[in-house]
Amino acid sequence: NAGVMQNPRHLVRRRGQEARLRCSPMKGHSHVYWYRQLPEEGLKFMVYLQKENIIDESGMPKERFSAEFPKEGPSILRIQQVVRGDSAAYFCASSPDRTANTGELFFGEGSRLTVL
């Protein structure tokens, strides 16, 4: 049973470019979460999605960041016009219905974005 799959694992962008990070949840999981980990800091919640719906985006910056989880295909975290402060590891996590209200999450290995 494959775990949470994220790609790309590493992404380098120049300031002003767009970054797209993809996440395929574990089989049978319908809940997807995105977290950001800045150097020397803990993981920070960004957004929680179910298929075709954004449930909670309270941790998402208001500008330049967007997320989707379409009916078919992976979840996408999109960062437009990247700036150096966006450099971080972005982790996707998924959960089955039975743990959606408890916080037991299954994390991917992360996508590390470097903005030059």
Partner 1 sequence: QKEVEQDPGPLSVPEGAIVSLNCTYSNSAFQYFMWYRQYSRKGPELLMYTYSSGNKEDGRFTAQVDKSSKYISLFIRDSQPSDSATYLCAMSASGSARQLTFGSGTQLTVLP
CB contact at 8 A, 37 and 21:
no
For residue 80, how many other CB atoms are within 10 A of its CB?
13
CB of 46 or CB of 79, closer to partner 1: 46
CB contact at 8 A, 106 and 95:
yes
Give min distance, CB of 69 to partner 1, in A: 14
Residue ranges binding partner 1 (CB under 8 A): 4, 31, 33, 35, 40-45, 48, 55-56, 58-59, 91, 93, 100-110
- The tokens for 53 are 């719906």
Give min distance, CB of 10 to partner 1, in A: 10
Please return the burial class of 109, using the count of CB atoms within 10 Å of its CB with bins 0-12, 13-18 and 19+: middle
Give min distance, CB of 3 to partner 1, in A: 8
CB of 17 or CB of 59, closer to partner 1: 59
